[in-house]
Amino acid sequence: MVPRQRPGAVASLPVRYLSDIVRGLLMGSVYVVPGGDGGTVALVLGIYERLIRSLHAGAAALGYLLRGRFRDAVRRLGDVDWPFLLPLAAGIIVAAVTVASVIDRLLDDHPVATAAAFVGLVLGAAVIAWRLVERWTRARYAVVAVTAALTFFALGFRPDEFTDPGLAAFFGAGVVSLVALILPGFSGSTALITIGMYQPFLDAVTERDFVAIGAFLLGGVLCLAAMSTMLDALLHSRHDTVVAALIGLMVGSLRALWPWQGESGSMSAPSDWGAPLLLAIAGFVMVAGIGWWAGRRESPVSSLQSPVV
């Protein structure tokens, strides 16, 4: 049933579409940043529930289609919030294609300053996620600490970058990386760094290698379809514990963003920390301000909250 629209609602449709495109631009821009993730941006902007619901409906439609149940597939496709999802996807794709080259250039020309700003962005997102936990317990503090420690040490092991990855490597990278679009705290770019596919992915985007990009997206789409139902269930049944683990992922992933790193990913003491510290503070304040603004408009996960388990 189509909900009755109030007078003037049609006139606001272009504004809503533009707003969703801008949200997609933000998600796509953060996605290509090492340590950043689109899922956290969706939480901050208050669109996370709609995104998960639409992805869940799309995954169900794909499942029906593969089993030959075409009527059920069409019915589930009707449950997808297309007026929201398509502008959002357009923004994500445009940002990923255009911002990737900018990020690549900034990381080459100003690595310390760029990484410092990203540290502030991730810390701001972690603080926002911290506020989403309804009740903190000792067990959940432990979940944050253990997850952060495991992530921190795991990121210390960095393999060599692939020199000439094949389509199978891009497919596998998409499976691992695109989870970041729906899993807050999981950085797709950090995952690509960990498996040695970050630079090849940036090169494929900047060089417009659409075959490699297609293999990457195929792996990601299949993974998103498989995970959306599980993630939706976990956020309803174990919301606070899951968010605590995601906060640990964000904090631990800061190792990949430490501005002063050696060739093998080793961390060194800062040589000149004045300007990087200011950039980190600016990034933190910007994300915290966006979260405060979004929180005043609507609770990002109000309908995801469930009795604490």
Q: Which among 154, 116, 84 is positioned nearest to 279, based on CA atoms?
A: 116
Q: What is the DSSP string of 57-70?
A: HHHHHHHHHHTT-H
Structure-token match 């092991």, residue found: 157
Q: Is 111 left (phi over 0), alpha (psi -120 to 50) or beta?
A: alpha
Residues 6+ apart with CB under 8 A from 205: 32, 96, 97, 100, 101, 213
Q: Which among 259, 282, 283, 278 is positioned nearest to 269, based on CA atoms?
A: 259
The CA distance from 52 to 300, in Å, is 12
Tell me, rounded to whole angstroms, the distance of Cα 207 from its chain centroid.
23
The answer to whether residues 52 and 231 touch, using CB atoms and an 8 Å cutoff, is yes
Q: Is 118 left (phi over 0), alpha (psi -120 to 50) or beta?
A: alpha
Encoded amino acid at 155, one letter = L
Confidence of residue 36 (pLDDT cuts 50, 70, 90): low
In eight-state DSSP terms, residue 253 is G
Confidence of residue 6 (pLDDT cuts 50, 70, 90): very low
Count of Cβ atoms closer than 10 Å to residue 19 Cβ: 17
Question: How much is the pTM?
Answer: 0.67
The CA distance from 81 to 103, in Å, is 31
Tokens read off for 203: 């090169």
The CA distance from 304 to 116, in Å, is 33
Region 299-304 average pLDDT: 42
The CA distance from 135 to 133, in Å, is 6
The CA distance from 8 to 304, in Å, is 30
Segment 179-234, tens digit of pLDDT: 766 776 666 776 787 777 888 888 888 888 899 999 998 888 888 777 777 776 77
Rounded to a whole number of angstroms, the CA Rg of the chain reads: 20
**What pLDDT is attached to residue 201?**
86
Query: Who has greater pLDDT, 278 or 258?
Result: 278
The answer to whether residues 187 and 252 touch, using CB atoms and an 8 Å cutoff, is no
Indicate if the alpha-carbon torsion angle 261, 267, 273, 279 is positive or negative.
Answer: positive
Segment 87-111, tens digit of pLDDT: 998 988 888 778 767 776 777 777 7
